[in-house]
Amino acid sequence: MSRPVIRRYPTGETGPLGGRTERFGAPRPGHGHVWITYRSEEKCSALWQDEYPEPDENGARVGHASFDGDYEAVVAWARATPAEAVYVAWPVLPVPGTPAEACIGYQPLKPTD
């Protein structure tokens, strides 16, 4: 005998964060950071992440939006977001065997790049 699933929360996008399932909302203008990373020499991605001070009306504690594409398209998207700051991974693609202190870190995206 199967029972219907009862949800006591609105359906929406969820994902794993810190070992638990987290409900995502939309980032708030003027808040959060955009993180640009390189997937390969031709492909990049950007994640705009905004941690809310309190859960929103749907229970979301984090707002996020993402974009994938080539470097120019990702940087254009990141600059168009009204986030508080934009950071880019540096060095771009670390060489395998790179010591930990030389691995990827982030630096602010320059105004012109």
Average pLDDT (17-26) is 69
pLDDT reported for residue 35: 92
pLDDT in tens, 90-112: 765 555 566 656 656 778 888 77
pLDDT in tens, 37-79: 888 778 899 999 999 999 888 888 899 899 999 989 999 999 9
Query: What are the tokens at 87?
Result: 């950071």
pLDDT reported for residue 23: 78
Q: Which residues pair with 37 in a beta bridge?
A: 45
Pairing of strands 105-108, 85-90: antiparallel
Integer CA distances (angstroms), 49 to 4, 7, 96, in order: 34, 26, 28
Q: How many residues does the chain have?
A: 113
- Residues 21, 50: Cα–Cα separation, whole Å: 17
Q: Which helix (H) or strand (E) holds 74?
A: helix 71-80
Global pTM reads 0.69
